[in-house]
Amino acid sequence: MSSHTKQCLAEINKSINSIKPVLEQIDSLEIPSAGLPLLTSKSNTLSQYIHHLALLSTFRLQKSSIQSRGAAQIQSGDLVDDLIKQRIVHDKTRALQSKLRYRIDKLIGAASGETVQDSTSIDPLAFKPNPSALIDKRRNEPDEPDEDGAEHSGVYKPPKLAAVPYTDPEKAPRKDKKVIPQAILPELVGGMDVTQQSSTGLGTVPSKLSSKRARELQHINDYEEENFTRLVQNRKEGNRRLRDEADIALGGGGVLKGRRVGGLDGEFDDVLRAVDSKPKKSGNKTPIYDELDKMAKKGSALDRAKAVNSKRPHSDNSDIHSSNAKRGRFDRQVGDATRKQKKRRG
């Protein structure tokens, strides 16, 4: 027998002799039955796993195959199967142990004599006032060291802020931008131009392409100039085109029908509205401008007085005014009282 083998046997015997008192101490201990079954099964599984692992090492020293299995005696294959089962059981107990962590800590604290504070219990002294919070910590002198021994440097340190959740700026509500009307957009763009500009002198906004009709007319003109031709239009469309082109040339938008309100005629809207341009039922078809001429031609003061006197009916009794003449409030009340007296008498 070689010296190396003798040395290994001596170490094994020494280890066995050191384990014997530990085994005797374990056999003398009484395992309490009132405990968690999970911890008991875990300790039994670990001890069996170590025992089977030691037996497997012994069989491997005897050059026994892992696949060999015996019916009468335990072989290496049987030990491997038991080790796999015990390892699976040990892995499954880890998840259960994490769920029972609170109960395990409570039992360990009770066994060691320490009291574990229950989270559900409410301590009435926890809500008492804290006198130390009334002391202003900023009153310390610059040269006076703090409780931790660090001196004040005299540099302002901002207080610590509480953590707040991050808000994505893209998801934050944004105010919708106001859309600039197309009628004033050319005017705003033209104000930045340094070149000379022409103006009609009217009170309207000079916008050549501010309306859909103006853009349509511009497109028609461009098409006719490029192809050297004229579009075929009936009389109604032709008159409308001429009217809209004149309206746009005078500063209008070409969007209103009928009279040209965007050009020079727009300056006299207040005058033209005062006269009824519709023909009357009696068949009188006097134009607007003829009616304006009659209103402008005023006679003398004597002629106007004669016209008023001719329209006023004359009566023999000058004290009583006719029903067509304008009466005051007092005259109306006198007439009402007279009629009431006549009804009573009748």
- Give CA angle at 174 (173, 176), nearest 5°: 135
Tens digit of pLDDT for each residue in 191-250?
A: 666 666 666 555 554 444 557 888 899 999 999 999 999 988 899 999 999 988 888 877
8, 50, 58, 80 from 54: Cα distances, Å: 16, 6, 6, 11
Largest Cα separation within the chain, whole Å, is: 173
How much is the pLDDT for 193? 66
Q: 19-38: b or e for each residue (b if 16 or more CB lie within 10 Å)?
A: eeeeeeeeeeeeeeeeeeee
What SS3 state is found at 329? helix
How much is the pLDDT for 41? 83
How much is the pLDDT for 302? 75
How much is the pLDDT for 186? 66
Ordered DSSP codes for 198-221 = ----SSS---TTSSHHHHHHHHHH
List of the chain residues with pLDDT < 70: 1, 30-34, 70-72, 114-122, 136-152, 169, 171-176, 180-187, 189-210, 251-299, 311-327, 346
Return d(Cα 202, Cα 267) in angstroms, integer: 8
Q: Nearest-CA neighbor of 37 among 82, 113, 111, 103?
A: 103
Return d(Cα 304, Cα 297) in angstroms, integer: 12
DSSP tag of 186: H
Backbone angles phi, psi at 197, to 5 degrees: -125, 150
How much is the pLDDT for 235? 92
Tens digit of pLDDT for each residue in 309-340?
A: 776 655 444 444 444 456 678 888 888 888 88
pTM flag (> 0.95): no
Return d(Cα 153, Cα 185) in angstroms, integer: 60
